[in-house]
Amino acid sequence: MADKIILNDSPASEKALELDVAAHLRSDINRLKGEFYDLDHGKVDYAAMRDSEAYRQYVADAALLDRYDLASLESREDRLAFWINIYNTLVIHGVIELQVKQSVKEVRDFFTRICYRVGGMVFAPDDIEHGILRGNRRPPHGLFHRFSRDDHRTEHLVLPADPRIHFTLVCASSSCPPINYYRPEHLDNQLDLAAAGFINGPEVEILPQENLLRLSPIFKWYRPDFGGQEGVVDTLIRYLDMGEKKDFLIERGLAADIEWKDYDWRLNR
C-alpha cells in the first residue's frame, strides 16, 4: 500500500489551539457549503474552492483536529454528525490537494491514503466509513475488519450503525449522494431527507412493467447493512414517493429482478 498522506499535518499556532475547534470547523464548512456546494445537484466547485480564502481558512483550522477532544462528542448524534462531516471534507480536501482532475481513481488507494490526524490518531476515509460509522465491519470484498481489537480508534465507534450513512458519505464521484452539512440537533430528519433524496433520484429506477429494479451498487456493496435483500426493499419502500412504483415494491418487490447500475466515478463537479 502507498504511503499515507496526512492532509492536516501543518502545526497549529498556540493562539489557534485556544479556539473552539468544533465551532471554527462548523463555521468553515458552512462557508464552504454556501459558496461552493450545489446542494440541489450534489456538485462541488473544486476549481473555485482551491483558490479561495474560505478554503485556506478551512485548511488552517483542519490542523486543529489533531488536538480535538473526541470525548467532547457526548451523544450518538454528535459523533455521527461529526464523522460524516469529517469524511466528506477530508475527501474534498484530498481531491484539491492531490489535484485530482477527472476521478479519485487517478490516485492509487485514495480512500486509504489520504488522512487527517484527529484527537492524536490517524483516520483515512475508509477508517471513518468502515471502522467508525459501520461499527468496524469489513469493507465490501474485504477480508478483514478495519480496526484490530487493540486499536484505540475502536473507542470511538458509532453504535448501533445506521445504514442511512450510505446516503450521506460523498466520495467525490457523480454516482455518490449529494453533499450536505449535518447537524446533531437535526440529524435524524437530515438522514431521512438524504435517504429520500437518493432513493427518488437517478441512482434508483423502479420499472414495474419489466418487474425490474435497477439500483445503485451501493445497495449491493452494503446489502448486509440494510438487512439483506428484504431490508433493501423495505428501505426503498420507506423512502420512495407515493405512487405506482411504491405500490409495485409493496406487492412485488422481493420477487422483482435486480440489475446493478454502473457506478460513475467521475468527479461530482
pLDDT at residue 34, as a whole number: 87
pLDDT in tens, 14-59: 555 555 677 778 788 888 888 998 877 778 899 999 999 999 989 9
pLDDT in tens, 167-214: 999 999 999 998 888 999 999 999 999 999 999 999 999 999 999 999
Per residue in 205-250, pLDDT tens? 999 999 999 999 999 999 999 999 999 999 999 999 999 999 999 9
Report the SS3 class of residue 37.
strand
pLDDT(159) > 90: yes
Give residue limits of the domains in the chain. Answer: 5-173
Q: What is the pTM of this model?
A: 0.94
| pLDDT surpasses 50 at 254 | yes
Share of the chain above pLDDT 70, in %: 96
pLDDT of residue 2: 61
